[in-house]
Amino acid sequence: MAERRIVTVTLNPAVDRVLEAPNFAVGSHIRGRRVALYPAGKGVNASRVLAILGVRSIATGFIGRGELAMFEEHLEEVGAGRVVCQLLVVRGRTRDNVTIVDPVNDTETHIREDGFEIQSEDVGRIASKLALLAREEAIMVFAGSLPPGVSSSAFAHLIERCAERGADVVVDTSLAGLDELHDQGAWLMKLNREELAAMADAPTQTEEEVIAAASSLTRRSQGRVRHVVATMGADGAVLLGESIAYRARVGVHPGRIVSTVGCGDCLVAGLLAGWIRTGDWKAALLEGVAVATAGAVRREAGFIDPEDAAEFRHVAVVEPIEPPAP
């Protein structure tokens, strides 16, 4: 298989702050401590995990000027030189995502900012940047929510331009970002139950319904959406596409799960790492769910320990499924 270039595109990055506050209560004064502070955003997380897995990537997208050095230094250090940071500076400050962990009551409270306001010239700049990076051997990973100023139609246009240049496009975005993607070319779409239900206009409460909805989405798109990986939380994931249909799950004691935030980013990174190394979707899905589970046993979103990933590879189960008839 020809060497593939992975490019992660994070249009709305964040600085993740994790605070620990025992007996947290709204309106009270509580002494806490900072557990973690690190650059994030779904594409940034994916690049970081890819690097930990030994896979190189280019990380592009937008960044506030004040946070550029922090992101560059972090990705260089954590990525061991495997991440090339090519983020484009925009006006405004990169948003904060704050997670308040209460270890006494076993709760997590997440506070999310919207992000900086993107100007029309910024959209033009990222479009030009992506046109340079998108080529036939490239995998372009569009990950994360859309910042203010980037419409769903503008997002769809960016994806379309990359697909037209021959790149394989991976999409892992929010519901708002999915609004106008029904007619766009995507090599792979990663969707949770809610997102899949919206895209396929079908129920997704049970595993059977998830399989039916994912199969329907690939058929109705007439080849524009070639593969769908649908996540089901503790029930694992299913992957459907061109002549493939698999379900995968990792058996792990619930007490080991620390946080599921960022597990989807880990799954995408693991899936792509498995795919570019083997060209086999079954092996890729196994790697994806193993790496996602490794992310779930860490407090920081989008981080994994290679030893955890190795452990979960041995207990992951991937089996073929029969997609519903058209």
Alpha carbons 60 and 130: distance in angstroms, whole number: 9
Catalytic residue, candidates 102, 122, 172, 265: 265
CA-based nearest residue to 15, from 89, 104, 94: 94
Q: Which two tokens stand for residue 97?
A: 């995502």
Alpha carbons 325 and 250: distance in angstroms, whole number: 28
321 phi, psi to nearest 5 deg: -125, 160
3-state secondary structure of 148: coil
Cα torsion 80, 81, 82, 88: sign: positive
On the 0-12 / 13-18 / 19+ scale of CB atoms within 10 A, 135 is middle
190 phi, psi to nearest 5 deg: -105, 120
**Residue 122 annotated in active site:** no
Alpha carbons 132 and 153: distance in angstroms, whole number: 21
Q: Which two tokens stand for residue 315?
A: 């207990």
Q: Which residues are catalytic?
A: 265
